[in-house]
Amino acid sequence: MKNVIIRPAEEKDLQAINDILNYAIVHTNYNLNEHTRSFEEAQQWYAEHIAEGYPVIVAEKDGTVLGWASLSWFRRFSGYRTTAEVSVYVSHQYRHKGIGTMLVTELERMARKYHMLIAVITDNNTASLSLHSRCGFIPMCTFRELAYKNGEYVSVTFMTKKLN
């Protein structure tokens, strides 16, 4: 897709970021939350990421946020400080246009202080599994029927990429 800009997210992007996330929560089993995130919760999430030095980025074209990505704590134990979890969400109207690849590529560039990146992906999210594979992530393990959402058990695959 041409003329897409990848840039750090700003507070003005939070409504679009939250709308994209909430769409995934309501319409898919890709995100295992069962309740949408309020705008206030999105503001808190964003403030925590910025304060802790975790990047949040957006893909934008002509003033419209097409997708977003972030790095986060994998688990809040000090031994995991060299590992960051990758989250990537693309608006349903703009999927399969290379936006996810652009976002992951930029996150990796920003993640040089980390040793390992990890993506936690539901097995029914074949687009995300393919995206992360194309970007060099390797499946490490699959937890069968680990979660339950929308009346079905969902398996989850952990994919990792060693950076340094």
pLDDT digits (tens, 9 = 90+) for 66-120: 999 999 999 999 999 999 999 999 999 999 999 999 999 999 999 999 999 999 9
pLDDT at 164 over 90: no
Write down the pLDDT at residue 80: 94
pTM, entire model: 0.95
- Average pLDDT, stretch 109-138? 96
Write down the pLDDT at residue 152: 94
Task: List, in order of start, the domains of the chain with CATH numbers.
Answer: 5-162 (3.40.630.30)
- Average pLDDT, stretch 142-163? 96
Q: Which one-letter amino acid corresponds to residue 90?
A: V
Distance CA 161, CA 139 (A): 9
Write down the pLDDT at residue 91: 97
pLDDT at 1 over 90: no
- Band of the pLDDT at 2, cuts 50, 70, 90? confident
Report the mean per-residue pLDDT for the chain.
96
| High-pLDDT (> 70) share of the chain, % | 100
- Provide DSSP, the chain: -TT-EEEE--GGGHHHHHHHHHHHHHH-SSS--SSPPPHHHHHHHHHHHHHHT--EEEEEETTEEEEEEEEEESSSSGGGTTEEEEEEEE-GGGTTSSHHHHHHHHHHHHTTT-SEEEEEEETT-HHHHHHHHHTT-EEEEEEEEEEEETTEEEEEEEEEEE--
The two structure tokens encoding residue 126: 């074949």
Write down the pLDDT at residue 42: 98
pLDDT at 154 over 90: yes
- Average pLDDT, stretch 19-34? 96
Write down the pLDDT at residue 33: 94
Rounded to 5 degrees, what are φ and ψ at 155? -90, 150
- Average pLDDT, stretch 31-42? 96
- Residue 13 neighbours by CB under 8 Å, 6+ apart: 58, 60, 65, 68
